[in-house]
Amino acid sequence: MNVDTSTINPLENEAIYIFREVAAQFENPVLLFSGGKDSITLVRLAQKAFYPAKIPFPLMHIDTGHNFPETIEFRDRLVQELGLNLIVRNVQESIDQGKVTEESGKYASRNRLQTTTLLDAIDEFKFDACIGGARRDEEKARAKERIFSVRDDFGQWDEKNQRPELFDMLNGQIELGQNVRVFPISNWTELDVWSYIEKENIEIPSIYFAHTRATFLRDGLIWSANDDVVYREDDETVEDRLVRFRTVGDMSCTAAVLSSASDIATVVEEIRASTLSERGARIDDKRSEAAMEKRKQQGYF
């Protein structure tokens, strides 16, 4: 039997190569794990990169406290099954310490607050490389992101002064205090990720599949109503709808889509036919045309 790029995805080969570069070039890497499909895919790719050895770095989850409970259950099960080392740091702690202030009002979200908790955790553990599941097709600021993206002492992204990446060569040289954000699935599209999950038969949290949920409408988007996290006005009426989520961010900034796709195959079919980009259901990007670019400059993941 041959290993060749017609049977094994070239993007998968590229991602495995990147994981090995991280393990070889850095002393203290960490995989940022959100419980979403992209970070679950990263875990599978990391397993492949180092087999038969274990993944040689821990996972870290920055928990906003506003996650879907299904995601947290899934996270804990995955970590246990694979015998991985998981670090959790909470945004609530940063709020309690007075480092950040909770937003209020209709569009309140803890999404932006995560940055402070993340930067503190990088400092605490002295991580020199943070591996994340961001993809260039998600958003236009991400389209300009490098595979190895250097952040300064303040976690900031300098978009005009990025290192050129030539051929396969990844330059991970940094100074003490700097860190590198690493994006092994930079070149994957949303459909690539879903097709991979299907082909590899990877388990993902149940909220990615169609389920009946108490929801309400705002700005043409469908919001979850069966919890206290999402702020709701009195005149926003709650109704049961058959929905699923395309991304798993915070409940406060992730909208659902109407769907009857109940397994991976039907989800892949739906994505293929869909004309709404996945970030279209993320209110954090709709705030302004340059929302992501600004957050990235400040150290957002």
Partner 1 sequence: MEVLKIATAGSVDDGKSTLIGRILYDTKSLTSDKIEAIEKTSQQKGYDYLDFSLATDGLVAEREQGITIDVAHIYFSTQKKSYIIADTPGHVEYTRNMVTGASTSQVAIILIDARKGVVDQTYRHFFISNLLRVKDIIVAINKMDLVDFSEEKYNAIKLDFEALMQKRDYKDQNITFIPVSALKGDNVVQKSEQTPWYTGQTLLEHLENLNKEDVYNEGTPRFPVQYVVRPKTDEFHDFRGYAGKVYGGQLSVGDEVVALPSKTKSKIKDIYFYDEKYQTASRRTSVTITLEDEINVSRGDMLVKANDLPKIEKQFTATISWMDSENLQTGSKYLLQHGVHKVLAKVDQIHHKINPDYSGNDTEVNALEMNDIALVSFKLNKPIYLDEFKKHRTNGSFILIDTQSNNTAGVGFIQ
Starting from the edge strand earliest in sequence, which strands make up the sheet with 221-224, in order?
Answer: 221-224, 211-218, 239-244, 257-258
CB of 213 to partner 1, least distance (A): 23
Q: Which residue among 98, 154, 167, 233 contacts partner 1 (CB under 8 A)?
A: 167
Stretch that binds partner 1, among 100-108, 157-165, 225-233, 234-242 (CB under 8 A): 157-165
Nearest-approach distance from CB 13 to partner 1, in angstroms: 4
Q: Scanning residues 39 to 58, which ones bind partner 1 (CB under 8 A)?
A: 47-54
Closest CA to 301 of 29, 34, 100: 34
129-142 burial code (b ≥16 CB/10 A, e <16): bbbbbbbbbbbebb
91 or 292: CB nearest partner 1 = 292
Residue 217 is given by DSSP the state E
Can you tell me which of 92, 162, 266, 298 binds partner 1, judged by CB under 8 A?
162
Residue 11 within binding range of partner 1, rule CB under 8 A: yes
**Alpha carbon distances (Å) from 279 to 92, 124, 219:** 25, 31, 15
Question: Least distance in Å: CB of 225 to partner 1?
Answer: 24
Q: Would you call the peptide bond into 52 cis, given omega within 30 degrees of 0 as the criterion? A: yes
Which is closer to partner 1, CB of 68 or CB of 194?
Answer: 194
H-run or E-run covering 62? strand 59-63
| 171: contact with partner 1 by CB under 8 A | yes
The DSSP symbol for 138 reads S
Nearer to partner 1, 187 or 266 (CB): 187
Interface residue with partner 1, options 105, 154, 160, 233 (CB under 8 A): 160
Q: Is 131 in the site for partner 1 (CB under 8 A)?
A: no
Query: What is the C-alpha to C-alpha distance for residues 79 and 58, in angstroms, rounded to an integer?
Result: 10
What single letter denotes the amino acid at residue 137? D
Q: Does the footprint of partner 1 cover residue 101 (CB under 8 A)?
A: no
Nearest distance, CB of residue 276 and partner 1, angstroms: 5
- Measure the CA–CA gap between 51 and 47, rounded to whole angstroms: 6
- What SS3 state is found at 81? helix
DSSP code, position 211: E
Residue from 69, 153, 191, 260 binding partner 1 (CB under 8 A)? 191
The torsion angles phi and psi of 48, rounded to 5 degrees, stand at: -65, -35
**101, 164, 176, 212: which one binds partner 1 (CB under 8 A):** 164
Binding site for partner 1 (CB under 8 A): 1-6, 8-14, 16-17, 20-21, 23-24, 47-54, 136-137, 140-141, 143-144, 150, 159-160, 162-169, 171, 173-175, 186-187, 189, 191-192, 274-277, 280, 289-290, 293
